[in-house]
Amino acid sequence: MLRWALGAIGGPREGAASVVLSLGLGLSVLAAVGQIDGNLRNSITRDLPDVAPSYFFVDIQKDQMPGYLARLENDPAVSKIDSAPMLRGVVTMINGRPADEVAGDHWVVRGDRGITYADRPGEDTTITAGEWWPEGYDGPPQVSFAAEEAEEIGLVLGDTITVNVLGRDITATVTSFREVNFATGGIGFVMSLNAAALEDAPHSFISTVYATPESEAQILRDLSREFPNITAIRVADAIDRVSQLLEGIASATRWGAAATLLTGFLVLIGAAAAGEQARTFEAAILKTLGASRARILRSFALRAALLGAGAGLVALGSGILGGWAVSTFIMETSFAVIWSSAFGIILGGILATLLAGLAFAWRPLAARPAGVLRARE
């Protein structure tokens, strides 16, 4: 039966190429979508912290910080508070050259960026290279830059960065690199300068609050009543919104892939219908030589399954390659093959060709050999 199936697939009238191409195209799109969607979900699950902040508060004025901290530090439901001054600045020059000439289209030099200042590194700060300035330092401006972004731009220790803050150009020397993980849901700045360089400029503070879910509503009511200018962002709501947007994008893409797959399935049905006469003659010959209907049917099924597996494997290779390219170069996330989706694509190809092949196998099996052969003569 395997020899029959392989011989028939290699025959000039079987149309194996059109079947693999039509079905494989739809399955390729579906495979790529499955890989991209799976890696996006894995990235979200992997990168989000086990304990995210309850709230992100912005626009806290400097004179409001004592009252703000007093309300939260005395609340037993609050486990952690992170606060930092924040200003907005535009990176205009790198080593005396226009920033876009050095960094190209990197996101750090596109538009304004949040920057902060600190006398000493925070408890969770990890310095990867260089040294933080001494506490109380008031000399020429120095900046600690995010290590990953610095590597992408090509910065090294000793380079200079010019940042325009409120119309004033501040040129600071890069004296350290540090780890900055923007996926934690907490506070993260690409650039942190020494306090003397920025603390006299008008600015506000931002803060993250970690609290029990039961206490979140009361915290929000108290702070909004006492400080109505403060803007509160509930981190869980933001994460849910992003997840909904990603699900919407994935759903729309899946519908597009399904349309392509449906077109391929219609072509597959057409190819199966066109080959019905050839299979009728083949079945007549095999019956004449003593083959049973069951063996012929199994041969037809095996042929269809092999064609479907071939289309699935072609689609799998294309889908994995496409998913890797989109994840790596467009979404800039890590990529791993989602094997459940991959095996599902192969199984789908086998089932599609099997159903289409068997749907047009009953008449060839029911035809009488004598009539078929006489008509052929």
Per-residue pLDDT of 17-29, as tens digits, reads 766 777 777 778 7
Query: Dmax of the chain from CA atoms?
Result: 104
DSSP reduced 3-state for 132:
coil
Per-residue pLDDT of 139-152, as tens digits, reads 999 999 999 999 99
Give the type of residue at 111.
Answer: G
Over 90: is that where the pLDDT of 169 sits?
Answer: yes
Per-residue pLDDT of 271-301, as tens digits, reads 677 677 777 787 888 888 888 888 888 888 8
- C-alpha–C-alpha distance, residues 268 and 18, integer Å: 8
Q: Pick the range with the lowest mean pLDDT from 87-91, 268-272, 309-313.
A: 268-272
Name the residue among 95, 125, 127 with its Cα closest to residue 109.
95
Residue with tokens 């499955």, as numbered in its chain: 34
* pLDDT at res. 47: 65
User: 236: pLDDT confidence band, cut at 50, 70 and 90?
Assistant: confident
User: 242: pLDDT confidence band, cut at 50, 70 and 90?
Assistant: confident
User: 132: pLDDT confidence band, cut at 50, 70 and 90?
Assistant: very high
* pLDDT at res. 81: 92
Per-residue pLDDT, averaged over 294-315, amounts to 83
Pick the residue with more confidence: 50 or 42?
A: 42
Half-sphere exposure (Cβ direction) of 8: Cα atoms closer than 13 Å: 26
CB 118 within 8 A of CB 165: no
* pLDDT at res. 124: 83
Over 90: is that where the pLDDT of 171 sits?
Answer: yes
Q: What secondary structure does DSSP assign to 178-245, as a single string?
A: E---GGGSS---SEEE-HHHHTTS--EEEEEEEE-GGGHHHHHHHHHHH-TT-EEEEHHHHHHHHHHH
* pLDDT at res. 112: 92
Q: Return all residues near 81 (Cβ < 8 A) that are at least 6 apart.
A: 69, 72, 73, 207, 208, 209, 210
Q: Where are the alpha helices (DSSP H) in 227-292?
A: 235-274, 276-288
Name the residue among 275, 325, 302, 271 with its Cα closest to residue 23.
271
DSSP reduced 3-state for 77:
coil
Over 60: is that where the pLDDT of 183 sits?
Answer: yes
* pLDDT at res. 285: 81
